Every structure is written in structure tokens, then in C-alpha cells.
Structure 1
């Protein structure tokens, strides 16, 4: 995995970890602030993992993005537990 792909994956995971649920037009959406690397944000938009508009200060995860973020976090979780056994699991699990 190259540097850009890793940055994109970790950005998506961070977005998922910091997201909150909000009422959207078609039901609930996961929204997060977009204080991440702009190139990574642009790539995530291009690949339909997130949606944002230029003037918005936040983004929301698409269903595809939420699923991919959960895959990434499920892959990372065992690695994190090995390094920091006292860490709190995400979403209170």
C-alpha cells in the first residue's frame, strides 16, 4: 500500500471514528468535520466514500464509505489492542 492509499484509508477511518449521526434528507447520515488532508478528502469524494460541498465545514459518509471505514477499523482494531491493551474500543464495544 502506497503512502497516498494509506493516508486515504486512515483518513476514512478517522472520519468514521469522529462521526456523529444526524438526520438527513433520506434518513440518518454520519457527519464529521473535514479537518483532514485536502488531497485525501478530494480522493474520498471522488471514490464516493464521502460527500461534501466546497462551502461546507463538514462531510458525511456515504453507505459505501461507512462500510469501507468499518472494514478498515475492523482490520486495525486487533493491531491497536496488541499495542495498547487498555485502550477503549470504538462505539463502546
Structure 2
């Protein structure tokens, strides 16, 4: 059950994200932290997202975007 919660949280973060322009990286996906911090901390530890504890939003790492693309196929048929 815990893994499903983490997967769905990551998927919801992605589905509610927006892309910001950035000259250095070409852009990044960003989302608000409206989810349990314990789950967000685990997603950070797994390398899917990153961000400051003081910030109100997170950024997706490339691995997090790849993982959500897999989950879109799994959960949205």
C-alpha cells in the first residue's frame, strides 16, 4: 500500500506540475508541495524530486519524469 501511495503522489505531483523556462537547463517541471512531507522526503531520497525544505514547491529530476511516464501507462489506460 505504501508503494502505491508514493507512486500516486509522484503521479499527482507530475500531473499538477508546470514547466518553467531556464536558460541553463532548457526548463524544469515544478509542482506545489501539497502532499505529506514524509512521502515527499521518500521521493527525494529515491532521486525523483528535489527542493529546499523551506520552499513551497519541488522540482522534478529527470528520473522522476521518466518514472511518471511509466506510471501514466500503468494507471491511465
TM-score range, shorter chain: over 0.9
Aligned length: 76
Is residue 69 of structure 2 the alignment partner of residue 66 of structure 1? no
Q: Which has the higher helix share?
A: 1
Structure with higher Rg: it is 1
Q: Give the aligned partner of residue 74 of structure 2.
A: 75
Q: TM-score, normalised by structure 2?
A: 0.92
In the alignment, structure 2 segments of 5+ residues that lack a partner are: none
Give deviations 1:38-65, integer Å, cap 9, x for gaps.
1110000001100110110000111000
Q: TM-score, normalised by structure 1?
A: 0.77
